[in-house]
Amino acid sequence: MSKKGSNKDKKEIAKVLYMAGNSQKDIAARVGVSETTMTKWVKEGWQELRAAKNITRPELINKLLLSINKKLEKAIEKDGDIDGLGDQLAKLASTLEKLDKKASVVDTIDVFSAFVKWLELQSGHDTAITLDLIKQINNLQNRYVSSTLTSAL
């Protein structure tokens, strides 16, 4: 990538590359910014966004199961005493139960409604968010909910 281009353009490209899993060092070289600039941008909340995008419910469940297994193995190695793990295992089991539940249609509708409200607020100062765009998104959301309900029947 050329060293030319506005910092805003470079930042947008860097964010896309970061969200795709590329390293900060590689991104800095590709978009033509310093590693310090890249670190500053990442600290603006990119890490949290990438984590939220990349950590799935099944991954979290698997990690919790591995954690439980490790705790049990350690307890068994220590004279087979697993009595002390009761509270820890109960908490992990409760967390697993909560994670294992799928989002309901009501949850989906709540999220979609909140998103449309957010879009409406943003449209006041972001010209890219037009009334037609909001209508389109709302229509697609309605189609998604309808198809979800139909497939559940």
What DSSP designation does 43 have? I
Q: What is residue 84's predicted lDDT score, i.e. its pLDDT?
A: 64
Q: What are the b/e assignments for 56-74, b being 16+ CB within 10 Å?
A: eeeeeeeebeeebeebeee
Q: What is residue 5's predicted lDDT score, i.e. its pLDDT?
A: 56
Q: What is residue 18's predicted lDDT score, i.e. its pLDDT?
A: 87
Cα Rg, the chain, nearest whole Å? 23
Q: Looking at the predicted structure, is the pLDDT value of residue 34 above 60?
A: yes
Q: Looking at the predicted structure, is the pLDDT value of residue 28 above 90?
A: yes
Please, what is the average pLDDT of the chain? 81
Cα 24 to Cα 6: distance, rounded to the nearest angstrom: 19
Closest to 132 measured CA to CA, from 145, 123, 141? 123
Query: pTM, whole model, 2 decimals?
Result: 0.43
